[in-house]
Structure 1
Amino acid sequence: MKTRRRPYAEQRPQDLGGGVWSVPVPIPGNPLGYTLVYAVESPRGPLLIDAGWNHPDAWDALSGGLAVLGLDVTTVSGVVVTHFHPDHAGLAGQVREASACWIAMHEDDAALVRLMTEYAASEQDDFQSDMLRRAGADPSEARQVMGTRPVPPAMPDRELRDGDLVDLPGRELRAVHTPGHTPGHICLHLEDADRLFTGDHVLPDITPHVGIYPYDRDDVDPLSDFLDSLDRVADLSASCGPLDALPAHEWIFPDVAARAAEIRHHHEEKLERLRDLLARQAQPLTIWEVAAMMTWNRPWGELPPALRGMAAGEAAAHLRTLEARGQVRRHAGVDPVRFQALNS
């Protein structure tokens, strides 16, 4: 399938007009290639939307890319993080050190950053091991899936809620809570320019990862949250008029509502296929068994251990949504947890 995605080496900082710029910041060793960091003009100094991965090459790209555009990283007034993942929040702390700016993110993701900061490495290992066991992963495979403990991003100075206006004098930049990819993911609506910074929520060619961690949680439903958030973005476009999407990866595109509808359709089809798969099984399946039977961009046997762990998280999220819709049931009191289709 053809794609408009270009490698990082072909990316350049761009003046997008209307006091908005974009700077591609590399993600070393990641197939996504780069994060698009946006700068918005402000009399106090540019405001950044996301900051990029915490790596010396990424810092050079961010600070150098801003300089190419006539901006100075030392004059940044604030960084709004769309979500806490390292390719978005990783350099926020270094930007703050260079410029004395503030960092803001949604309160739900801020709570996760606090938890990560307080978590000891040994606790992280125990958490992952037990999570993988309860999902049905083989112990030897579980050891491969367990990666190194991620470095927590910088704690934010400000916490945002849905509908809050960001501190951006002379402009109207409003936080739109769009949970799913993370509990505190936000899009940012530049209301005076019909632009929506979509973070990872709506991307032009791929769909963001939506998973559950731990896999067997039954008190959250992130995929349903994500689907509701897609509807919310579409409704926003319907009420405000067509919105151009400025995503954190790939490329800028028009008509965010149309793309949101495509992504919703993709997940509804995936849910239907999963329901049919479970209905054909004589016995209930573990989350790991379900993940191994689902369709990914590569066969299960070719997925590296880390990607198998993410695939299991997505399988768990889809199972949880089917459970919430009354289409599958969870077998309580068994270890590992198992799921079975209900008769329609």
Structure 2
Amino acid sequence: MMNSTLSAVLNAFTIQDLITIGISLLLMILARPFSKWLNSEDDLTSRVSMMRMLNFLIIVAVLASVFVLHESAWLSRLTQSLIVIYFATLVTHVINYFVRRRFGKTRITSTGTSISDTYSSRGLSLAVAAFISVIALVTCLRILGLNSLLEAGGALGIIGLFLAMTQGSWAPDIISGLIILNSRLCEEGDVVQFNMDGTQIVASVFKTKLFHTECLDLANNHRLMVRNTKLRDYGIQNLSRFASAKGLRECMLFNIDYAHSQNEVTEMMLRAFSEIDRVEGMREEQFDPEVLVHDTGDYAVTWAVYYYIKDVKHLLKIKQKFRAHILAESVRSDISLATPVLQMNEVTLSKAAANVTPSM
């Protein structure tokens, strides 16, 4: 009885149905390793889910045409359209893989070797995706029965109208992304500094994507997504591109009382940097620190201390450690780093409070 039922079920399928289901099941199983081989960095989970969902819909459509809607013409057309969409997506990913390998930029990171997009690879990938999408769309329209030029043109016109009405939301970001890649304004791994909504951001560029750039905020240790158009408007300072072989010239400012001479301040800073070089070793020690007058205010002299570093990814950490060493040396040297005007105000207020006689 069971054998006869199984035989009847199998006889209900045609060879084409069995091949379609078998290939779809195989592709569902191989979706993750295949997608990881093509590109393991960009949205692996979403790409695997999309591929498996298309395979699942194809299998459901085949089963429905066999057991529910026998010899349904529109269901057969739907199955064929899903197959076209799946293979169009698959071919796009495969071609983009070879485009990235040929025109992308190879980088060596702590986790291994990776390939990042360039202007050429991104432009070719967009052209390939657009070309295959048009072919797949026209093929699906023909499969669905829109054979006349008027019917196909109407469907394409609706899609074109939708893209034209929404182009203000996506086209500027795509173009800005291509400009960023072409001009090499900032590349993956670069440390950049820019002002966003009144806040200074120091971040490492993680990846320049189609519509936005992902950055890793070095201060708060979180991922920051910035639209490509906004990133170009902010005015980026690329701290990884040095003006000379010395490295990045960093500066720290200190307000010190006029009572201390230039020699006292300079010697104090040099002693602090000697301790920094002995303990930390985070700067380019072959270049002596420069201690210069930055500004002469009403209550204090603003001293600027310049030094060179090359490990820009630890820029904030280096500056914090250097300030701690300079603070410790200032205490030992009896040179206060407190703003003198604040000290004077506190003394004045204290004297005024002491001279006030409580009313009876």
- TM-score, normalised by the number of residues in structure 2: 0.25
More helix by proportion, 1 or 2? 2
Structure with the larger RCO, 1 or 2 (CA within 8 Å, 6+ apart):
1
